[in-house]
Amino acid sequence: MNLRYLWNRILKKMRGVAIRNSSVHRTSKIEAGSQFVCSKMDKYSYCGYDCKIINCNIGAFCSIADEVVIGGAQHPTKWIAMSPVFFEGRDSVKQKFSEYRREPDLKTVIENDVWIGDCSLIKAGCKIATGAVVGMGSVVTHDIGPYEIWAGNPARMIRKRFDEKMINDLLKSEWWNLSDKEIKKRAKYVKNPLKFIEDEV
């Protein structure tokens, strides 16, 4: 193995993660350089390197690539000014002319088995439903339905992963809530959704 590559990987991982007021399931992973604030991540999910995830609930079996931004604070567009010099609390600018409370940050919801590609931006308050795919570099400003594939800036729906019957059957199965033992038993059908559903019945 190339020593320079190995050394760079070690340095990348040494940066650590910033997790605050959050919970991460013991089977899940937040990679180095990422911020995970006021958020929750369920089982067998991960986010890659250098992500920023704020005020977000993430379900099980989600795959979030590198440099993804989800959620974040909203500036008060109905005030005369949007600068933090008028907000309460600490911020980037030290000066305070007033300390008015902003509206609470919107909660972003990423359901189960969602895949979000590199460098995607997800606006605060959006809901990305189970089984959805967000293509790399996408800017998501609207909710995304179950098993839909979206991409672009702004993101638009490209297609659905399955037909409506299969989508409904997969949602009804709630396979992500099964025990590890049951999932392992059915894993042989991971490439064949129809057989997976038949085994479930």
* Strand 155-160, strand 148-152: pairing: antiparallel
* Length of the chain counted residue by residue: 201
- Is 25 catalytic? The answer is no
How far apart, in whole angstroms, are the C-alpha atoms of residue 34 and residue 66?
A: 9
Supply 62's token pair.
Answer: 């989600």
Q: Which one is catalytic: 75, 165, 185, 188?
A: 75
Strand ranges for the chain from DSSP E: 18-20, 23-24, 29-30, 35-37, 40-41, 46-47, 52-54, 56-58, 63-64, 69-70, 108-110, 115-116, 121-122, 127-128, 133-134, 139-140, 148-152, 155-160
What span, in angstroms and rounded, lies between the C-alpha atoms of 36 and 18?
6
Q: Report the distance separating Cα 59 and Cα 70, nearest Å.
A: 14
Active centre residues (catalytic): 75
